[in-house]
Amino acid sequence: MDELAKIIHTDNIRLSGDGRSVVILDQTQLPNRVVYLTLSREEDCYEAILKLRVRGAPAIGIFAGYAMYVLAQQYAHLPYDAFAAEFHRQREYLNASRPTAVNLNWALARMEQVVTDGAGQPAAEILDRLRAECTAIHQEDISMCTRIAEYGLTLVKDGDGILTHCNAGPLATSRYGTALGPILLGKERGMEFRVFADETRPLLQGARLTSFELQKAGVDVTLICDNMASIVMKNGWVQACFVGCDRIAANGDFANKIGTSGVAILAKHYGIPFYTLGPTSTIDMACPDGDHIPVEQRDPGEIREKFYAEPMALQEVKCYNPAFDVTDHTLLTAIVTEKGICYPPFTESLKKLFE
């Protein structure tokens, strides 16, 4: 496999050979070390999500599906009611690891539905169905990402400059990714884009992950600090912004990595189209607007000292560290999903997706 194919087609989340553990590429160690972890304890699965060893909305959902199957095997000897109660407890436990990406709750709900539907059936059959369900969640994500990449590619032309924020590539999903999907699919077809990757403070997903994936894939990528997006746009180097999403509300407001809304405001100022790309599993029709999206707050140490040789702020200084912000739907040109491209008014175009 060449490097481009390796980046696109490696399964960074999978079941172990014996099906008793989930294997993940530890994203916190990139780009310096490629380390795979084998997880089979609930605390380790929770920690992997919380600490962003596995991250990106679709990837968290895929991981949670596999994790529930792995954990369920450990208490499959229990009578059905006790089994279902333990399954429910673990679902709630994993769901509490991160609040913003709706894909986590979505995948966990799918897994629990299998258990509910299995009432009265032998444990071995329920386990077989759980395995089929988590495999289906993963397979569906692969086909959704491929279709999102196809739709996204229709929005840009060969040679365009594209700015992206955070990481919505294969590491955050499966195969092509969402926001990076059109870029990687285009590359496979011989197209060349010039990509600007925001470093994405404070956890540097753009520097550590996006520029890593694109550089390895042979894409022309330039890493910039978050505060450089304006000059890059002003220079005329950006023809479109592609970003991922963690939860899209029914009116088109959407949560994505902190800093995304600032990029959208800049893009509007410079007249650059701004797109979010994500599977329909990221759309939460029960959430009316961005004010109803829970925004995760994270450890202040991520701002003060992480990645620095010594702290860059006094220990006692107050920090505000939201992991996500909400971009207002009025700043959004379109939402690219596996079912097609939604344009404003989003209340109508999103509703049509689910009809």
CB 191, min distance to ligand MRU, A: 21
Q: What separation in angstroms does the CA of 82 have from each of 65, 79, 88, 140, 285? A: 20, 6, 10, 31, 33
Of 25 and 172, nearer to ligand MRU (C-beta) is 172
- What is the residue whose two structure tokens read 């007249």? 271
CB-based contact 228:197 (threshold 8 Å): no
CB 179, min distance to ligand MRU, A: 7
CB 122, min distance to ligand MRU, A: 37
Of 126 and 342, nearer to ligand MRU (C-beta) is 342
Binding flag, residue 25, ligand MRU (CB under 6 A): no
Query: Among 244, 252, 259, 290, which residue interacts with ligand MRU (rule: CB under 6 A)?
Result: 244
CB 17, min distance to ligand MRU, A: 27
Q: What separation in angstroms does the CA of 225 have from each of 164, 207, 228, 332? A: 12, 9, 5, 23
Q: Give the separation between CA 212 and CA 109, rounded to whole angstroms.
A: 33
CB-based contact 225:211 (threshold 8 Å): no
CB 278, min distance to ligand MRU, A: 6
Binding flag, residue 267, ligand MRU (CB under 6 A): no
Neighbours of 313 (CB within 10 A): 13
DSSP string, 211-224: HHHHHHTT-EEEEE
Binding flag, residue 329, ligand MRU (CB under 6 A): no
Q: Is the dihedral of CA 137, 63, 99, 254 positive or negative?
A: negative
Binding flag, residue 247, ligand MRU (CB under 6 A): no
169 phi and psi angles, rounded to 5 deg = -110, -165
2 is catalytic: no
# residues near ligand MRU by CB under 6 A = 18
Which of 160, 198, 246, 325 is the catalytic position? 246
| Residue span 72-111 as binding mask against ligand MRU, x where in contact by CB under 6 A, dash where not | -----------------------------x----------
| Residue span 154-183 as binding mask against ligand MRU, x where in contact by CB under 6 A, dash where not | ------------x-x---xx----x-----
Binding flag, residue 140, ligand MRU (CB under 6 A): no
- What is the residue whose two structure tokens read 């600032």? 262
CA-nearest of 171, 280, 194 to 242 is 194
Binding flag, residue 280, ligand MRU (CB under 6 A): no
Binding flag, residue 323, ligand MRU (CB under 6 A): yes
Binding flag, residue 57, ligand MRU (CB under 6 A): yes
Our measurement of the distance from residue 312's CA atom to the centroid of its chain's CA atoms, rounded to an integer in Å, reads 29
CA atoms within a 13 Å half-sphere pointing along the CA-CB vector of 340: 9
Binding flag, residue 21, ligand MRU (CB under 6 A): no
Pick out residues in 189-228 that bind ligand MRU (CB under 6 A).
205
CB 233, min distance to ligand MRU, A: 19
Q: Give the separation between CA 274 and CA 252, rounded to whole angstroms.
A: 13
Which spans of this chain sit near ligand MRU (rule: CB under 6 A)? 52, 55-58, 101, 166, 168, 172-173, 178, 205, 244-246, 256-257, 323
